[in-house]
Amino acid sequence: MTTTLVTGATRGLGKETARQLVEAGHTVWIGARNAEQGEAVAAEIGARSVQLDVTDDASVAAAFAQVDADGGLDVLVNNAGIAMWGLNGPDALRVFDTNAVGIVRTTEAALPILRRSANPLVVNISSALGSFTAVHDPESAASTVQAAVYGASKSAVTMLTVQYARMAPEVHFVALEPGYTATELGGMPNPHGRPVEVSAATVVAAASAGPEGPTGVLLEDGHPLGW
């Protein structure tokens, strides 16, 4: 059975991804900054819960030590992310600390465990808002959104995916644009996006691809997205 940890999994895309992964037969860990919320979601969907704040080195280390002690890990889904709309230093640092540096923290903690898996995989949730191709394409929803810091942080996510794929070729790394989704981000609802169930299904497909899937790429609905 595949064991998968999803960060930022107490609501929205992360929660629905975790739910579908459980349904698909994965043993799922809910990575939650708020332990009480994580335990509630885990009980609701039949998963396990671990306190995990991707901006806190000690929290990350403790979380992966617990996962390792309880049987190891095959797949890491780096879903935790925030959006802040101010163009100022504190907001920019907070967004990058969560969206990009957080991936470095979790991936570095996970790699020693993943290397003991037969089919190790890391799925990083990126965004078309970090793609030059998408933001310049008038047919793409990304071309209509102004999100300078968030988009830049997601460009970093995609490049981290490529670089990790080169540095750790024994592990598959995939970045995903999960789709323009009807979930709240940065305090702003998005009622015009597609259902979260549809976007989560693309994450589940990537997390279930195994060693035959691509590595070091950015995908949208299973197809390469230029970036």
Which residue in 29, 64, 150, 227 is the catalytic one?
150
Q: Which helix (H) or strand (E) holds 124?
A: strand 121-125
pLDDT tens digits along 85-107: 889 999 999 999 999 999 999 99
Domain that holds residue 103: 3-224
Rounded Cα–Cα distance for residues 51 and 205 (Å): 25
Mean pLDDT by 10 residues, the chain (227 residues): 98 97 98 98 99 99 99 98 93 98 99 98 93 77 82 96 98 92 52 80 94 90 84
pLDDT tens digits along 162-171: 999 999 999 9
CATH code at position 59: 3.40.50.720
* Model confidence, pTM: 0.93
Active site residue 164: no
The number of distinct structural domains making up the chain is: 1
